[in-house]
């Protein structure tokens, strides 16, 4: 899990075992002074979401083309582990409606990587996000358990249950009223290996990682989060953030700086599907041959 913004190790919410990331959404704030910048035109949703061509293993996408078309995708992990229901019942907030409201206020397209357990806990919010063309919902597993060993203390999904865990999340989305969830999957903790990529290949998903870590998990300094994002973004970047009141309290405030500044620099906000479509079926090597797992910048999500 991440313990500081500058360490770029990102997480959301301690679980029963001392680590488990949390969810998405946040309170609506006054728009920033620079909100006069023109919002990007909404792009038409493709009839079939673009995916990467499989190569025997689940393909892995980290960023779009580094082209002159300055695009950036903000992604938000809506994390809730399978065993955090009691904490939600006791009043802990794994959602963040204000953050979602701020994205709408600024007309920022975004991709929300949602766990099935989150959708079970907040079905109205899941449906509301899923029905808004500004957003797309993708899969972050049902349980938010790890798909490798030694992933930030997360419990581990057995190999023979990995595909079922992903499919259970899609079932939870449908139950909540989310239609057309995207065929994209983000590994809990960002941890994967050859085994998990091979096991999930039959699920037909593209694994989506990131190249910019916001450092927002447990951060309280919104300015530091904003600086970290602004320092890291390049054309085609995928930024990982969180939308959980309890575990990422500074994210919504950081957006008030990030959004107008990136627009001022000429960036256009897009959803992950647009970046994957622009990639034209190309993807990075699924996993280094010398590595057993992959957790970008030591960060758990």
Judge contact between 286 and 294, C-beta under 8 A. Answer: no
Contacts of 78 (CB under 8 A, 6+ apart): 23, 24, 25, 94, 95, 112, 113, 114, 115, 118, 140, 243, 244
For every residue of 44-71, DSSP letters joined together read PPPSS---PPP-SS--EE------SS-E
Q: What is the model's pLDDT at position 197?
A: 97
The strand pair at 206-208 and 212-213 is best described as unpaired
Parts of the chain with a pLDDT under 50: 1-45, 285-298
Nearest CA-CA partner of 272 in 107, 81, 46, 53: 46
C-beta atoms surrounding 274 within 10 Å: 21
Q: What is the model's pLDDT at position 205?
A: 97
C-beta atoms surrounding 139 within 10 Å: 27
At 172, list the tokens: 């939870």
**For the whole model, what pTM was predicted?**
0.81
Q: What is the model's pLDDT at position 258?
A: 98
Q: What is the model's pLDDT at position 282?
A: 56
- The 10s digit of each residue's pLDDT in 225-236 is 999 999 999 999
At 103, list the tokens: 């994205």
Q: What is the model's pLDDT at position 53?
A: 66
Q: What is the model's pLDDT at position 300?
A: 54
Q: What is the model's pLDDT at position 47?
A: 65
């Amino acid at each position: 899990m991440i313990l500081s913004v500058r360490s770029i190790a990102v997480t959301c919410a301690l679980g029963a075992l001392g680590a488990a990331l949390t969810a998405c959404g946040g309170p609506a704030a006054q728009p920033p002074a620079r909100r006069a910048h023109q919002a990007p035109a909404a792009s038409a949703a493709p009839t079939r979401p673009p995916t990467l061509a499989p190569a025997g293993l689940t393909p892995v996408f980290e960023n779009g083309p580094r082209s002159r078309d300055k695009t950036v995708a903000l992604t938000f992990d809506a994390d809730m582990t399978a065993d955090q229901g009691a904490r939600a019942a006791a009043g802990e907030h794994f959602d963040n409606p204000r953050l979602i409201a701020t994205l709408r206020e600024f007309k920022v397209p975004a991709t929300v990587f949602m766990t099935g357990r989150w959708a079970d806990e907040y079905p109205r919010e899941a449906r509301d996000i899923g029905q808004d063309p500004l957003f797309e919902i993708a899969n972050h597993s049902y349980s938010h358990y790890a798909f490798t060993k030694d992933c930030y203390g997360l419990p581990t999904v057995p190999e023979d249950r990995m595909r079922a865990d992903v499919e259970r999340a899609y079932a939870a989305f449908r139950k909540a009223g989310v239609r057309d969830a995207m065929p994209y999957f983000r590994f809990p903790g960002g941890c994967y290996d050859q085994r998990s990529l091979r096991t999930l290949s039959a699920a037909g998903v593209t694994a989506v990682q990131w190249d910019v870590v916001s450092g927002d998990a447990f951060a309280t300094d919104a300015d530091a989060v904003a600086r970290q994002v602004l320092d890291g973004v390049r054309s085609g970047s995928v930024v990982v953030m969180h939308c959980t009141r309890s575990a990422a309290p500074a994210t919504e405030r950081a957006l008030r700086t990030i959004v107008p500044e990136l627009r001022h620099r000429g960036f256009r906000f897009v959803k992950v599907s647009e970046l994957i479509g622009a990639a034209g079926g190309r993807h990075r090597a699924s996993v280094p041959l010398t590595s057993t797992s992959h957790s970008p910048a030591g960060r758990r999500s």
